[in-house]
Amino acid sequence: MDIQREINFWVEIMKDHARFMRNGFDPTEDRFFDEAHEFYKRFKYFTSGSERGREGDEKLLILQNLVLDFVGFKSRVGAGIQACKILSILPAEFIFHIRREAMFFLGILARLRGGPRLTRQELNIPGQGLATTVPQVLIPQLRREFREIAYDELFFWLEINYDHAGVLAMYFRPGQEEYMRETLQWERQIKGLYDEVKRAFYASRSPEPFIPVSINMMKQWEHFLQKLLNDLTCCTIPGKQMNIWPRIVDHMIRENNYFLEVLEILRRVR
């Protein structure tokens, strides 16, 4: 995807995160509800076209500051939930997961226009130093960084995806045990691949063989998520609903698609 599409993709992801947070708070948490909704509106304003006419760089700067604020908000809310000071149906780990995604986006923005880069440690990626966080369109131009980029992307997105499976599994209802079993299998399978990649990384092997393997696995995982999304939007899942919004499954599919696009680019340039 080109730069504009990539930014739009990430802004849509940020809008969803704000809405998930907003809709997860206990009804008494008015202040946090409002704050989350405010973030949603600020990101929405950003894609509504009202920013058109400004210089591209100025636009990116505004976006960068907004994402930075949002990361801070997620940190506060995650810590608040953890300390039982903020009530929400979303676990703190969920908030830390979406914070990590926002930080990855920050890294991409920094790669585009300068600004705070993220360390691998901050993104929970094995290895030392700054994470590569390259916008898709720049990957083919950075052949010398192929190994670092491939490992960073594999580690980041495989972890994101097995997290998704683990989160989903928490929200099935009685009668949906088959779905829950399958989802937990996906968590184990993706985590298994992640561990293999980790062993290869520490043994200084090439990340190349993991690219086609990941493409295969992520396509099947997507197929599973599509079936679940369809069952949720058509209410054909046993019991008609699960205890989470259908949008979350759609969101996971879009993040997985982004990863699949990165993998296809890596396969072409290796």
Kindly tell me which of 122 and 255 has the beta carbon lying closer to Fe ion.
Answer: 255
Which of 35, 101, 153, 187 forms a contact with Fe ion (CB under 5 A)?
101
Q: How far is the CB of 214 from Fe ion (least distance, A)?
A: 16
Which two three-digit tokens encode residue 22? 């907003």
| 159 lines the binding site for Fe ion (CB under 5 A) | no
Q: How far is the CB of 56 from Fe ion (least distance, A)?
A: 25
Q: Is 187 in the site for Fe ion (CB under 5 A)?
A: no
- Determine the Cα–Cα distance for residues 16 and 244; give it in Å rounded to an integer: 14
Name the nearest CA neighbour of 162 among 131, 123, 194, 124: 194
The b/e string for 150-174 (b: 16+ C-beta within 10 A; e otherwise) is: bbbbbbbbbbbbbbbbbbbbebbee
Q: Which residues pair with 119 in a beta bridge?
A: 130
Token couple for 213:
């393997």
- Record the tokens describing residue 80, joined without a space: 């608040």
User: Which residue has its beta carbon closest to Fe ion?
Assistant: 101
DSSP assignment, residue 136? G
Q: By CB under 5 A, which span of 35-43, 99-107, 183-191, 259-267 interacts with Fe ion?
A: 99-107
What is the smallest separation between the CB atom of 226 and Fe ion, expressed in angstroms? 16
Determine the interface stretch with Fe ion among 35-43, 101-109, 114-122, 237-245 (rule: CB under 5 A).
101-109
Q: Is 152 in the site for Fe ion (CB under 5 A)?
A: no
Q: Which two tokens stand for residue 155?
A: 């580690």
| Residues of this chain that bind Fe ion (CB under 5 A) | 101, 255
